[in-house]
């Protein structure tokens, strides 16, 4: 056992290396594997073609989320291709003995919402899923990242993938966040600072008082968007906030198992003097509510700022102009006051109870703007239930909003929740790529507070004016 100081990431990584290959990747053991209907069917097909089975079915969990309707979930799914994918997930799960929370199951919801809320996600684990936002689970001090379908097949058949160890980046944010600044703003700010590829090749640890004081929901929002800075994943050291969140959840360890694991989890932090390849430091006081103006998540600014010029941004001018043209925006335009046609709150980034509480805090006593179509989509049935129990549903209804049923919805617009071409959507999701929310759709990424401010005023509005 090495006695030299190690980072949190080193500790968890090293504990999962089955074999190191000279001039090659590590054979990396996976504790928990999530699957959904879109990226798993071809992996199961591959198993069949090779005559392989699922090695440890109890380590894999299936939920349907990407391609599900968010209304009338009790009715048969209309789109035959979507219905076929959902049926394949159910069939494959049953065939191999994998736990499956399909459409209509009370545990169903977005994979990165239901994993944590059911106590499947634990500190020190390695977690993968055929979905890049698997980085969400890093909020618990797990190494969690997205994989491709070939790797899904590897995990199913051998519980391992072949993975080179990434470099290490530490991002410290210290100080107090000001009013109206949420975890979403913190992560959009970081991405704007380092760009959408600034952490490619790295695994990030988030540290400093801002993350120490953040709720688990907030940490999940931040870790979720690690991939949007190019990082494979991001993690936060587990602490009392983490342990309190996990304790008592359905699949969380209990009794002696809990005591044993808690002792282990308390060792999961970066040692004094451990080294990182890159360390970045930011001040909480510099962060204001953020919004994106372009077609990658790195193109974000403080909501009170003007769109930068190509020269200010640097990089390829043609790509920058292509992006602004797509958005119908111009250099030096202010963001405040821009037209908004749609508001989407939900997704694995901001589809948890805290996000709906924030949204309701602004909506309360106000009315939905007539020019806005709002899609309010809980991340899971459990979140939906909380929304109703806490009275948030009544606030939303009173203000003229409707609540939809859980799923990924307009974040990637695989189902019918597509923003029409040319329309502007303020979205709490994670990607503003061209056509991400529907062909020709224009996405402005922001926090639930900014989304709420847009929903009640019908334009981009600083939420601090409404708090």
Partner 1 sequence: MAYDKFTVLRSSAVPMPIENVDTDQIIPARFLKATERKGFGDNLFRDWRYNSDDSPKQDFVLNNPIYSGKILVGGKNFGSGSSREHAAWAIYDYGFRCVVSSFFADIFKNNSINVGILPVTVSPEFLDQIFKAIEADPTAELEVDLPAQTITIVGTGAKESFDINGYKKNNLLNGYDDIDFLQSIKQKIGTFAEQSHY
Site for partner 1 in 398-427 (CB under 8 A): 412-414, 421
Question: Residue from 63, 67, 350, 380 that binds partner 1 (CB under 8 A)?
Answer: 67
Report, in Å, the least distance between residue 81 CB and partner 1. 4
Any contact of residue 278 with partner 1 (CB under 8 A)?
Answer: no
Question: What is the arrangement of strands in the sheet containing 160-163, beginning at the earlier edge strand?
Answer: 17-20, 26-29, 160-163
Report, in Å, the least distance between residue 419 CB and partner 1. 13
Binding residue count for partner 1, defined by CB under 8 A: 80
Any contact of residue 23 with partner 1 (CB under 8 A)?
Answer: yes
Tell me which stretch binds partner 1 (CB under 8 A): 149-157, 208-216, 366-374, 449-457: 149-157
Task: Report the sign of the C-alpha dihedral through residues 290, 292, 293, 298, in that order.
Answer: positive
Report, in Å, the least distance between residue 28 CB and partner 1. 11
User: Residue 311: exposed, middle, or buried by beta-carbon count in 10 A (0-12, 13-18, 19+)?
Assistant: exposed
Report, in Å, the least distance between residue 70 CB and partner 1. 15
CA angle 296, 302, 305 (to 5 degrees): 105
Report, in Å, the least distance between residue 85 CB and partner 1. 6
Closer to partner 1 by Cβ: residue 148 or 337: 148
Question: Residue from 146, 218, 234, 406 that binds partner 1 (CB under 8 A)?
Answer: 146
Question: Residue from 35, 62, 98, 147 that binds partner 1 (CB under 8 A)?
Answer: 147
Residue 26 — left, alpha, or beta (φ > 0 → left; ψ -120 to 50 → alpha)? beta
Residue ranges in 425-464 that form contacts with partner 1 under rule CB under 8 A = 431, 433-436, 439-440
Any contact of residue 292 with partner 1 (CB under 8 A)?
Answer: no
Q: Can you tell me which residue has the tokens 């291709």?
A: 81
Closer to partner 1 by Cβ: residue 153 or 355: 153
Q: Is residue 121 within 8 Å of 141, Cβ to Cβ?
A: no
Report, in Å, the least distance between residue 424 CB and partner 1. 18
Question: Residue from 78, 150, 275, 304 that binds partner 1 (CB under 8 A)?
Answer: 150
Report, in Å, the least distance between residue 152 CB and partner 1. 8
Question: Residue from 73, 172, 174, 197 that binds partner 1 (CB under 8 A)?
Answer: 197
Closer to partner 1 by Cβ: residue 124 or 351: 124
Any contact of residue 467 with partner 1 (CB under 8 A)?
Answer: no
Closer to partner 1 by Cβ: residue 84 or 174: 84
- 33 membership: H or E segment, kind and range: strand 32-35
Question: Residue from 322, 357, 364, 464 that binds partner 1 (CB under 8 A)?
Answer: 322
Any contact of residue 82 with partner 1 (CB under 8 A)?
Answer: yes
Any contact of residue 149 with partner 1 (CB under 8 A)?
Answer: yes
Token pair listed for 22? 């000279």
Rounded to whole angstroms, what are the CA distances from 125 to 39, 264, 353, 367? 22, 11, 24, 44
Closer to partner 1 by Cβ: residue 31 or 462: 31
Closer to partner 1 by Cβ: residue 146 or 180: 146
Task: Give the phi and the psi of residue 426 in degrees, each rounded to 5.
Answer: -85, 120
Q: Buried b vs exposed e over 445-467: b needs ≥16 C-beta within 10 Å?
A: bbbbbbbbbbbbbbbbbbbbebe
CA–CA gap between residue 434 and residue 448 (Å, rounded): 22
Closer to partner 1 by Cβ: residue 295 or 350: 295
Three-state DSSP state, 69: coil
Token pair listed for 173? 């944010």
Any contact of residue 50 with partner 1 (CB under 8 A)?
Answer: yes
Token pair listed for 286? 């510099």
Residue ranges in 332-371 that form contacts with partner 1 under rule CB under 8 A = none
394: Cα separation from own chain's centroid: 27
Question: Residue from 178, 200, 209, 361 that binds partner 1 (CB under 8 A)?
Answer: 200
Strand 342-345 and strand 300-302: the pairing is unpaired
Closer to partner 1 by Cβ: residue 18 or 285: 18
Question: What is the arrangement of strands in the sheet containing 167-174, beginning at the earlier edge strand?
Answer: 233-235, 202-207, 167-174, 278-283
Question: Residue from 113, 122, 307, 335 that binds partner 1 (CB under 8 A)?
Answer: 122
Question: What is the arrangement of strands in the sheet containing 424-427, beginning at the earlier edge strand?
Answer: 373-376, 342-345, 424-427, 442-445
Closer to partner 1 by Cβ: residue 229 or 396: 229
- 233 membership: H or E segment, kind and range: strand 233-235
Going by the DSSP 8-state scheme, the letter that residue 309 receives in this structure is: P
Any contact of residue 316 with partner 1 (CB under 8 A)?
Answer: yes
Cβ neighbours, 10 Å, residue 318? 9
| Cβ-proximal residues to 51 (8 Å cutoff; 6+ apart), any chain | none
Residue ranges in 218-277 that form contacts with partner 1 under rule CB under 8 A = 227, 230, 232, 261, 264
């Amino acid at each position: 056992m090495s006695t030299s100081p190690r980072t949190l990431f080193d500790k968890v990584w090293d504990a999962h290396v089955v074999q190191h290959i000279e001039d090659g990747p590590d054979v990396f053991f996976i504790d928990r594997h999530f699957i959904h209907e879109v990226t798993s069917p071809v992996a199961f097909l591959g198993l069949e073609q090779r005559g392989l089975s699922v090695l440890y079915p109890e380590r894999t969990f299936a939920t349907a989320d990407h391609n599900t309707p968010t209304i009338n979930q009790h009715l048969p799914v209309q789109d035959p291709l979507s219905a076929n994918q959902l049926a394949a997930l159910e069939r494959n799960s049953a065939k191999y003995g994998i736990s499956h929370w399909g459409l209509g199951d009370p545990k169903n919801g977005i994979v990165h919402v239901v994993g944590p809320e059911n106590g499947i996600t634990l500190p020190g684990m390695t977690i993968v899923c055929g979905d890049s936002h698997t980085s969400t689970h890093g909020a618990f001090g797990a190494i969690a990242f997205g994989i491709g379908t070939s790797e899904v097949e590897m995990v199913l058949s051998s519980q391992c993938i072949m993975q080179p160890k990434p470099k290490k980046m530490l991002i410290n944010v210290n100080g107090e966040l000001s009013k109206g600044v949420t975890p979403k703003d913190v992560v959009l700010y970081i991405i704007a600072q380092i760009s959408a590829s600034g952490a490619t090749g790295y695994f990030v640890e988030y540290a400093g008082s801002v993350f120490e004081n953040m709720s688990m929901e907030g940490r999940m929002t931040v870790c979720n968007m690690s991939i949007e800075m190019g990082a494979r994943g991001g993690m936060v050291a587990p602490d009392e906030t983490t342990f309190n969140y996990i304790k008592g959840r359905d699949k969380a360890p209990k009794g002696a198992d809990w005591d044993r694991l808690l002792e282990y989890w308390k060792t999961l932090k970066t040692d004094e003097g451990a080294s990182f390849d890159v360390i970045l430091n930011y001040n909480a006081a510099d962060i204001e509510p953020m919004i994106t103006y372009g077609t990658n998540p790195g193109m974000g600014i403080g909501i009170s700022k003007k769109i930068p010029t190509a020269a200010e941004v640097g990089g390829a001018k043609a790509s920058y102009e292509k992006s602004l043209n797509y958005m119908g925006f111009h250099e030096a335009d202010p963001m405040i006051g821009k037209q908004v046609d749609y508001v989407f709150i939900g997704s694995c980034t901001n589809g948890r109870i805290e996000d709906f509480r924030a949204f309701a805090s602004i909506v309360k006593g106000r009315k939905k703007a007539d020019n806005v179509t709002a899609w309010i989509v809980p991340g899971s049935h459990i979140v939906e239930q909380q929304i109703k129990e806490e009275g948030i549903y009544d606030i939303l209804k009173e203000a003229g909003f409707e609540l939809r049923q859980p799923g990924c919805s307009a974040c990637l617009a695989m189902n019918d929740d597509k923003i029409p071409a040319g329309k502007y959507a303020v979205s709490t999701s994670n990607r503003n790529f061209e056509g991400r929310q529907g062909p020709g759709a224009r996405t402005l990424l922001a926090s639930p507070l900014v989304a709420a401010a847009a929903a009640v005023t019908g334009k981009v509005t600083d939420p601090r004016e409404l708090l």
